[in-house]
Amino acid sequence: MTDLAPPPPSAIPVPPPPPASPPIAAWRLQLDSTLSGGLACEAEIREAEAATRARDMEVFQAHCAALVTVARPVLEDSVRIVRERGIGAALVQLLRDQPSAMPRAFELRFSIDRFATRGRSRLVLRCLEGGSLVQASLVAEAPGMGGTATERIVGISVEQLTEELIGDLVVAVLDMIWEREPHLPASADDAA
């Protein structure tokens, strides 16, 4: 019987050591660090923008709801009353949501047609996505072609929107038709 003796250590092949990885250059470490930090910052910015958009959308929807529930019924009654006097009047509700790069806008437009020697007039209640106030624009056009228009703009907080205030704004537009200085409601003056 033959003893199998282990081979001498010099006979066992030793695998070569793995190739040494090249040293990481300092600029590569700095590049990686800068990219990581920048991408993390971008993610934070995107999250903040998304939160702001969500907040703006919530405020916009609250403003639209207030205009529809408080202002629209008063304006509808005003159209009916003006028409009963034989003067043309209309109420239009608009929602602008195109192009998508622009903030959305919601408007209620109460308008009175030309009559007798008077020009057209309108009251526009507008809210913009991202805005904190409802804008009331009162416009009375001069009769005839090429006449100038008189315009008053006031800002109104949603808390100030009441039937009384909307009615006062309609009366202010009528004052402007007869070229009287409009008496703007105190709460609208305060918000301007």
State how many domains the chain has.
Answer: 1
**Region for 72 from its dihedrals, namely left if φ exceeds 0, alpha if ψ lies in -120 to 50, beta otherwise:** alpha
Long-range contacts for 66-72 (Cβ within 8 Å, ≥24 apart)? 66/134, 66/158, 66/161, 67/106, 67/108, 67/125, 67/127, 67/134, 67/161, 68/93, 68/108, 70/161, 70/162, 70/163, 70/166, 71/108, 71/125, 71/161, 71/166, 72/108
* 23 inside domain: no
* 13 inside domain: no
Cα–Cα dist 133/74, whole Å = 19
* 173 inside domain: yes
* 19 inside domain: no
Q: pLDDT truncated to tens, each residue of the chain (192 aa)? A: 566 766 666 666 777 777 777 777 888 888 888 988 888 889 899 998 888 888 888 889 999 999 999 999 999 999 999 999 998 999 999 998 877 778 889 999 999 988 877 778 889 999 998 888 899 988 888 776 666 778 888 899 888 889 999 999 999 888 888 776 666 665 554 444
* 7 inside domain: no
Domain that holds residue 170: 28-191
